[in-house]
Each structure stands twice: as C-alpha cells, then as structure tokens.
Chains A and B, each alone.
Chain A
Amino acid sequence: MSIQLQATKKQDPPDEETPRIGVFICHCGANIAGFVNVEEAAKYASSLPDVAFVQKNLYTCSETGLREIKTAIKEHKLNRVLVASCTPRTHEPLFKSTCQEAGLNRYLFELVNIREQCSWVHMQDPVRATEKAKQLIRMGVARVALLEPRQEITVEVTRKALVIGGGVAGISAALSIAASNIPVILVEREKELGGLLRDVNKLYPTLGAASELVDEHVKKLQKAPLIKVMTRAKVLNVSGFIGNYKVQIDSAGEQIEDTVGVIVVATGARIMIPNGMYGYDGKNVVMQTELERRLKDGSFSARSVVMIQCVGARVPEREYCSRICCMTAIKNAILIRETYPETEIFVVYRDIQTFGTLYEEDYRRARELGVGFLRYGLAKLPAVDEGGVTVYDELLGKNVRIPYELLVLSAPLVAPEGVTELSKMLKVPLDANGFYLEAHAKLRPVEFATDGVYLCGCARWPCDIGDAVYQGRGSAARALIPLRKGKVYAEPLYAEVNPNVCRDCRRCVESCPYSAITTVEETVHGYQRTVSKVNPVLCKGCGACSVLCPTGAIGMKHYDNTLIMAMIGKAF
C-alpha cells in the first residue's frame, strides 16, 4: 500500500526560535469577569515563562478582539497564541483562522476554557475560581510553548466509484453518482440486474408491476454512458484507502483491475428459506415469493389461504423484524381478495408493521376486503397439520383451527452469502445478524466509519423499495463529497508508530475503528521487521491504539506524551 500524500512533509523549517507566547483573556462580559478576577489572571500570565504579551478583551471573539490578536501577533512578533475564554466548540476554529490570517500556523494556537470549566461552575467561590483560571492558563502556556507547526493533509481522489450490487439501491446510487459526471463501475453477481425485485409480482403500495420498475431503472442505466455495468461479476480483491482503491473484479471469467475513489456497498439480502418450518414443502406450504409467482402466471387457485408472519423472525435466533413482510402479506391478500373474491384469507401475525403514512390505510383496506387477522405470541406458535393451522389467538383466548388449501410463510430477509468475505476485504464491520454496520446508527446511517466506503439498501437492514432508493441516493450524496471535491483533507492530528519500539502485537490494528492501521515490512536498524503503520488520512486521532499499545510505540501527533506531561507538570 503506497500512501501518496501531498503535503505530509513539514514544509516549515523547524521552529527553533524561542517561543513568544501571546495570552488573550476574555471577560465574556460578566460571564467570566463576574467570577474570575481577570486583572489578576492577566498579571499572573505575564509572569509565566515565554509569555511575551498579555491582553484582556471584553469579548475576544468579537471583531475588536480578533483584530487585537492579529495586531499583537505582528507588533510583538508572537509565534504562539493562547486564548483563555469559552469552550473550544464555540470559537476555536475562528481563533485558529485569525492566527492563520496573521501569518501564524494555525496549529500554534491553544485554547483554555475558563468559562464552562471554571467561572460558570465556581460562581460561589470567586477566589478559588481565579486560582483555577490561573492554573488552567499556566498549563495552557506549558503546552502551547511546545506545539509544532503542522500542515493539513491532502489526498487526491480518483474520480470514479465502484458500486457493489445491482439491485434497486445499487442502481439508484450509481445513477446519482453518474449524474455528477463521475464514472461508475456497477458490479452485479447475478446475470441480471434488479436484485430481490426480480422475484416480486406487484409492488405495494401502488400495486404496479415490479418488472416495470426494474425495466425503468435498467433503461436509465443504459442511458447513462458513464456507468459500466458488469453482471455475473464478483469483487476479488480490494486494497488501498479513500481516493485510491485498487479493485480486482471477475466478470464472467474475465478479470479486470481498476482504481476507484470510493466504494458503495449495496449487496442486498436474501429471503430465508424456511426449511423444516410449518411443513414447508414449496407446494401447499410456500413462501410469499412462490405465491407471487403463482399470482403472476395465473396458476393460483386456492380457495382458502392462511399466511403466517414472523416465520423465523423476532425469535431468539433472529432478533429482528424484517420490515417488509407485513406489507407483502397485506399486498398479496388484497390482490387475492380483489381477483379471487371467493378465496378466504387469514393472516396470522404478531404485530402488524404498517408504519408511516403510506401503509396504515392498506391494512384497513385488507380488513375491509374481509381478510382475517389472528394474533399469536411466541409462547404458543401456530401448529400446522394437513389442511389446517391451529392458532392460539391471544385476543380471543382460544385455539382456532383455520383450514387452508395454501399456506404461505412470511420469512425474513437475511444477509446473503459472501458478506463475511466482502466485509473483510473492505475492512468494514457486520452486526450480529450479518447486516453491515454503519458509522453511526442515527447520524451517519449510509456510510461506514472507514472513510470512502458507503452502504445502502438491504445490505444495511431489510427495507422496501422507497427506502432502498433514498438510501442509495443518500449514500451517493455522501460519496459525492470527496468525488466532487477531487481531494480529501485531513487534520494532521493522527497516530504515529515508532518502529523501533513496535513489536508487532497488532493490538492497535484490532482496536482501530477506522481501519487506519495495517502492518508493513520495514527495515529497522538493518533488520527486516513487521511493524504497524498508520494511514494518516484514515486516522481520526481518537487515541484508542495509543492506549492499548503495550510498549508505548504509538503516539498521537499534537497530543503526544511530552505535551501532556508538560501540562501535568504545571498542574500542581
């Protein structure tokens, strides 16, 4: 793996000058000055080593305050700046930019929080609040004196994407990326595109034909010259990182290699085959997909149908609801009652999942059409015999035997074959059920923690068509950020391995949530050794590796032990 970084080398000459630190202490109106004696703190600051200039501001963050910082940097030849004010969350970026505008490297800035962490919490005790503020400033000065200038890391991004999976989610992602004039390779394992939709007859809630929707998507693909579709294809190998993934793909026996900037995982799911459950035989006891086939080709003929929901779902072995099965059952029940009004249908369910604005009325429509619903619980599962299902209806409190000519089982979507292999190849995690695990369950649902890899559709979690489309496009939007910029920028706050001390235990590799650490062969003091290496672009500087490293070989740039020890040294 070669890392081509544009500006990792320190461009600035080593800073050998004596530190000349400017300290700016904010009153924040009365927020700080009301409880901390700013005058006293300022006098104290000027007594500290290397401090060349001290100024009090009514509001350091105001235009006046910022101007004062810039002027002081120039007039007093300051080469380090410390601001004592509020939380870094509010104004640190602003102060850093101000330093930069005055010609100072933005990493030669430090902020100490004397508001949230001092004046606001010690309002009752102004004397000790002032002492604490002085302590915090003293520690900050010790740290800022040792800071080194740093440069942001920039990586070129190959403007091409790989989308794995040609179902509706993958197609949607590919179309959205290509719409920004970026080439896409779309890899599909089967010989046809369309994924799970190919086994569907009609779609809920519109009752339009699934084949039409697939055709519509495929037609759009054909009109998108930037998308290269590869069917009967498989990803063989992936190496590299965001911006520069080397991928190896086998397409119907022909192997190709290419470089892409990002990868979208849209590998979908498959429906669990309920072998050995409820007398499943594929003839009189079938899956919903088989029912759909019979409805499509007109071979459906049963006069009584029973559907059992949650077959193998929401059970200890598979602790999840598969999201689409209730609406699939309701859709098929409506179709049957409308086309074959003599056929009686009962749906045996646990909780009906008709969430949102689109589906609740379909549930009502099914009931209006006379579809019966019986509620069972995990404690008493339905029992199937030749021609009948005996259900303990919780809401009636009785066992009821419902005759059937056709028994339809609603089995859940499960992870398809090959997910483990692909997840290892991409270095992205799976959850307990074999679905891909996103970076954040709420705030980053369609991307992985690893930069440059995205996910959508049933690969993430069972979902319906509308979900798959917006997730596909959503993952495309996330992927388009580096693709459209053509570059990725990373803060130079990353872990670094000292190869002399690394003993290749690989705890760091396992601990890294961003897959930023790999092992490499390196010559250390003339010996060929395997040591850990951090990819500075992927590393987020979280420090998990550094904590686990038994030999102290990994340190965090900008937060290394020297800096922290210097602060601790001045703490008491």
Chain B
Amino acid sequence: MAACSDHPNIECLTYSAVREVSGNAGDFTVTVAKRPRYINESLCTGCGECTEKCPGKVPDEFNLGLAKRKSIFFHFAQAVPRIPVIDPTACLMLTKGKCGVCQKKCGAGAIDFKQTEQLVKARVGTIVVATGFDIYDASLATEYGFGRIKNVLSSLQYERLISASGPSGGHLNKPSDGKPAHKIAYVLCVGSRDITSNNYCSALCCMYAAKDAMLAREHDAGSESFVFYTDTRCSGKGFWQYFEKARSEYGVNFIRGRVSRITEDHSGNPVMWYEDTKQRRAKTLTADMVILANAIVPAFGTDKLAAMLGIELDKFGFIATNSFSPTDTNRDGIFVAGCVGGPRDIAEAVAHASAAAARAAETVTREAAVPAIGNRG
C-alpha cells in the first residue's frame, strides 16, 4: 500500500467512488466522487490525537463488529494514507451540531466539518477494475446458526481474533463467555459448492482453514483442531505439502464430510452434525468455537460498476473474462485484476494484476494520444 501511494506515477484517490465513465480505449473520461472525510488532507499529519478523545462508540467494521471504534477513526492501523475519516452517521457534530472535541484536539487545524463531496474528472487511456470481493453472509446459511449461536464465527472474524493486534490481543476467546477456546472446528464450503447459493468453489478456503487450524495449534499446543471438508483443493504451489504438514506435524484433524447443521448445547457450545464419510457414520462433534469458511462472492456494487463501464458479468456476478485471456473483459481497454473476476489467492492475484498492467500498457502504447495520468479535465 505504501509503495503504491508513494509511487510518483500513481495518484491514489481513497474514500472515492466512480460515478461516470465515458469514452473508449485510449481516451476514457472518468468522474470520481471523493466522499468528504471532514479532514483537510493536506494539513493532517496522521498523529491520531483526534481519535483519542472522540466520545463516539460504533461497531468497528475492520474488526467485523468484534470491537468498537470512534466516530473519527482510522480504518485500520496501517491504513494508507494515514488520514482519519469522520463517520457522518455517528459524529455528534455532524448529526447534532455539538461536540467538536476532535477539532479542539487537532494541533494541525485539519478538521473541517464543512467539507462536501468533490467531483474529480480524469482522462485515462485504460481502466483496470480491481474492486475485490465480499464474503458470503453466513447468516443466509441458516442451518449453521451464524448470528444466532455466539460461538459460531466467520473466517474473517477469526482472522481478527488470532491477530496479535486484534481486539482480543491474539487470544482465541469464546465470544459467549470470554474464556479460551480449546476445541475449534472449521467448516468449509459455506455458501459454495452449493447450487442453492453458489455452485462454484471458493478456491481459497481449504488453504486458509489449514492455516487457521495450524495457527490455533501454535497459539495453544493443548488445543484441538477439526477441519470439515468435501474435497481438499490443494493445487497451488506447495499447497498439498502444506496440508500434509498440518495433518502430520500439527495434528490437525481433517474430516471428510459436509456439516449438515450446527446446534447449540446447554452450555452454549456449538454442536456440528455431520457424516464422517470415510467411516460412513453420522456423528456429532461439540466444539468450543466454530469457524465458517464463507464463500468469496462478488463485491457489493460490482453489477452497478460493470453497467457503468459497459462490461459483462458472469453468471455468478463476477466480471466475465475470457478463459484464455483471464484479464480481459468484453470491452477493449478495460481489464480486471484479482478477485473481481472470481476467487484467487494472493500469489495468483498479484500475477494476475501484473498481467492486467501489461494489457493496460499495451493499450496506452497502442493508442497514439496517450493522456497524462491524472490529467484532470
């Protein structure tokens, strides 16, 4: 992120959304709406003092609701640029016209409650769409009790829990009672490989479940990990070896069977109902905590963006690409990078993004009139 924002040829417009696109390959005009941060970006030094005294307390999106944040906040500690943003729906000054503590605290005089949305026009030769993905809302898979059973979490919530800089300081504590979880189960294919939700494979979950299970074992050697899978998807570089390591060195239990439902026992522990298909027996397993591997799904708004750009979606709602030219959309000069075209792991997304850059470079080289980057009309 820092490398990107520091690059002399890259102008980052954060907290912004594309509103309109016109033109063709070689000369697009893009209208971008810069949402108001209520902070003067050129004055702010990123010291963060404003966030200290803010009285606001709102569920923190970055920690997926596992912690609270202030009304003026950094999205996360390493956010680039290091400039906070004021949440207009929570800030007392913006909602009720009183408070202004941040303004008093800011030594740089950077708080600006009068800021409004700015429209920025840019002429560009080519466009790369890299708007990423969302994760499947696990509460839609009602049989798994997400949102109903406290100790059933999503994989991203787990990432925050196991993170040393996360809301629990890296401890895997049960949301129900705050006590450490020793027996943790990971349920794969939540909202994927399922014709009633998404009949595709989400591609990353097997690997991160193995990683998650290993992390839990590293965190607490006395803990037990159970991964419920149907087929292990391990075709990436070094992946199968990684699974074997999880199994043999870390003692992670891999159980072949899709969980049918999750219930809650009297002490609030989640109970998984499944068939161990290799033992051919229907069983239950009671765990302290269950982590659901929610599917990668198209990001909210991908359809609108695609319509604005005049590009097609595939049947799942990701941006459609050619199987043998997986960075190309149906429109010349518009390319995709990463998960906006379907689930991809980090290495694949990085190589894919480089490929999109190569295609973009081809376009601007080919088109005679190459407008300068960031040339605002």
Q: Which residue numbers of A lie inside 8 Å of B, CB to CB?
A: 28-31, 58-59, 61-63, 89-90, 93, 176, 179-181, 203, 205-206, 213, 314, 319-323, 351-361, 364, 377, 394-397, 431, 435, 441-446, 456, 460-462, 465-467, 469-478, 480, 484
Q: Tell yes or no: B267 within 8 A of A by CB.
A: no
Q: Mark B85-116, 1 if CB is under 8 A from A, else 0.
A: 00000000000000000000001100000000
B295 to chain A, nearest CB (A): 11
B241 to chain A, nearest CB (A): 5
Which residues of the other chain, A, contact B351 by a CB distance below 8 angstroms? 445-446, 456, 470-471, 474-475
* Cα(A358)–Cα(B200), bound, Å: 7
Segment among B30-38, B160-168, B232-240 that sits at the interface with chain A: B232-240
Task: Identify A471's interface contact among B108, B277, B355, B359, CB under 8 A.
Answer: B355
Which residues of the other chain, A, contact B203 by a CB distance below 8 angstroms? 355-356
- Given A180-B362, A441-B347, A351:B233 Cβ within 8 A: yes
25 contacts between A and B (CB under 8 A): A28-B47, A31-B47, A31-B48, A62-B45, A62-B108, A176-B362, A179-B366, A351-B233, A353-B234, A355-B203, A356-B343, A357-B200, A360-B193, A394-B278, A397-B280, A441-B238, A441-B347, A442-B347, A442-B350, A445-B347, A461-B236, A469-B324, A474-B358, A477-B355, A477-B357
- Given A28-B47, A441-B238, A354:B201 Cβ within 8 A: yes
Which residues of the other chain, A, contact B46 by a CB distance below 8 angstroms? 61, 90
Task: Identify A59's interface contact among B42, B47, B199, B325, CB under 8 A.
Answer: B47
Given A353-B234, A355-B201, 11 extra CB contacts under 8 A: A29-B45, A90-B46, A206-B323, A353-B233, A356-B203, A394-B278, A397-B280, A446-B354, A470-B355, A473-B355, A475-B351
Which residues of the other chain, B, contact A478 by a CB distance below 8 angstroms? 354
A357 lies within 8 A of B316 (CB):
yes
Task: Identify B327's interface contact among A93, A358, A441, A470, CB under 8 A.
Answer: A470
Task: Identify A31's interface contact among B49, B193, B327, B357, CB under 8 A.
Answer: B49
B189-230, CB < 8 A from A: 193, 195, 199-201, 203
Q: Tell yes or no: B170 within 8 A of A by CB.
A: no
B82 to chain A, nearest CB (A): 7
Which residues of the other chain, A, contact B344 by a CB distance below 8 angstroms? 356
- Given A180-B362, A469-B325, A474:B355 Cβ within 8 A: yes
B240 lies within 8 A of A474 (CB):
no
Which residues of the other chain, B, contact A469 by a CB distance below 8 angstroms? 324-326, 355
Which residues of the other chain, A, contact B324 by a CB distance below 8 angstroms? 203, 206, 213, 465-466, 469
Which residues of the other chain, B, contact A93 by a CB distance below 8 angstroms? 6
* Cα(A179)–Cα(B199), bound, Å: 38
Q: Tell yes or no: B265 within 8 A of A by CB.
A: no
Closest to B257 in A: A395
Closest to B106 in A: A29
Task: Identify B201's interface contact among A89, A206, A360, A466, CB under 8 A.
Answer: A360
* Cα(A486)–Cα(B347), bound, Å: 27
Closest to A358 in B: B323
Closest to A479 in B: B358
A476 lies within 8 A of B358 (CB):
yes
A473 lies within 8 A of B359 (CB):
yes
B200 lies within 8 A of A59 (CB):
no
Q: Mark B46-68, 1 if CB is under 8 A from A, else 0.
A: 11110010000000000000000
B51 to chain A, nearest CB (A): 11
Q: Tell yes or no: B352 within 8 A of A by CB.
A: yes
* Cα(A229)–Cα(B327), bound, Å: 25
* Cα(A354)–Cα(B361), bound, Å: 32
- Given A28-B47, A394-B278, A395-B280, A179:B355 Cβ within 8 A: no
* Cα(A176)–Cα(B342), bound, Å: 23
- Given A395-B280, A466-B326, A477:B361 Cβ within 8 A: yes
A209 to chain B, nearest CB (A): 12
B359 lies within 8 A of A205 (CB):
no
B82 lies within 8 A of A361 (CB):
no
Q: Tell yes or no: B13 within 8 A of A by CB.
A: no
* Cα(A320)–Cα(B49), bound, Å: 51
* Cα(A425)–Cα(B52), bound, Å: 58
Q: Mark B225-263, 1 if CB is under 8 A from A, else 0.
A: 000000111111111110010000000000010000000
A436 to chain B, nearest CB (A): 10
Task: Identify A355's interface contact among B233, B314, B365, CB under 8 A.
Answer: B233
Which residues of the other chain, A, contact B352 by a CB distance below 8 angstroms? 470, 474
B134 to chain A, nearest CB (A): 15
B228 to chain A, nearest CB (A): 14
Task: Identify B200's interface contact among A176, A360, A444, A461, CB under 8 A.
Answer: A360
A180 lies within 8 A of B361 (CB):
yes
* Cα(A430)–Cα(B306), bound, Å: 41
Q: Tell yes or no: B10 within 8 A of A by CB.
A: no
- Given A206-B323, A213-B324, A469-B325, A480:B193 Cβ within 8 A: no
A121 to chain B, nearest CB (A): 14
Which residues of the other chain, B, contact A351 by a CB distance below 8 angstroms? 231-234
Q: Tell yes or no: B307 within 8 A of A by CB.
A: no
B116-138, CB < 8 A from A: none
B358 lies within 8 A of A477 (CB):
yes
Q: Tell yes or no: B368 within 8 A of A by CB.
A: no
Closest to A316 in B: B244
Q: Tell yes or no: B373 within 8 A of A by CB.
A: no
